Amino acid sequence: MTHNCHMPKQRNYCSKSAAATKGLNFFIEMEGEDVVALKKLTTEELIERLLYLKGLHEKDTRDFEEYKTSSQEMEVIMEREIEDAQREAKAATSKLHQITVEAERAHDRHEAEKREFLKIEEALRREVTLLRGEQETNKARIRELEQKNDDLERHERNNQQEVTDLEKKINEMTEKLTLLENELVEKQTTTEEVYRLREEMRAAERPLLMVGPLRAERHDDTPEEPTPLEQQKQRPQHISLSIASSIEGSEKSNGIPYAVRHIKDTNGNEDSEVCLHSFY
User: How many C-beta atoms surround the C-beta of residue 274 within 10 A?
Assistant: 19
pLDDT greater than 50 at residue 25: yes
pLDDT greater than 80 at residue 198: yes
* Mean of pLDDT values over 260-275: 48
* Mean of pLDDT values over 150-165: 92
Q: What is the pLDDT of the chain when averaged over all its residues?
A: 73
Strand partners, 258: 276
Q: Please give the pLDDT value at position 183.
A: 92
Domain ranges of the chain: 1-183, 227-280
Closest CA to 247 of 270, 279, 278, 276: 276
* Mean of pLDDT values over 255-262: 46
pLDDT greater than 90 at residue 274: no
Phi, psi at 160, each rounded to 5°: -65, -40
pLDDT greater than 60 at residue 98: yes
User: How many C-beta atoms surround the C-beta of residue 63 within 10 A?
Assistant: 19
Phi, psi at 261, each rounded to 5°: -110, 125
Which is more confident, 265 or 256?
Answer: 265
pLDDT digits (tens, 9 = 90+) for 120-135: 999 999 999 999 999 9
- Is 202 within 8 Å of 228 (Cβ atoms)? no
pLDDT greater than 70 at residue 205: yes
User: Which range, 3-17, 40-54, 114-128, 259-273, is most confident?
Assistant: 114-128
Cα dihedral sign for 96, 99, 103, 104? positive
pTM over 0.75: no
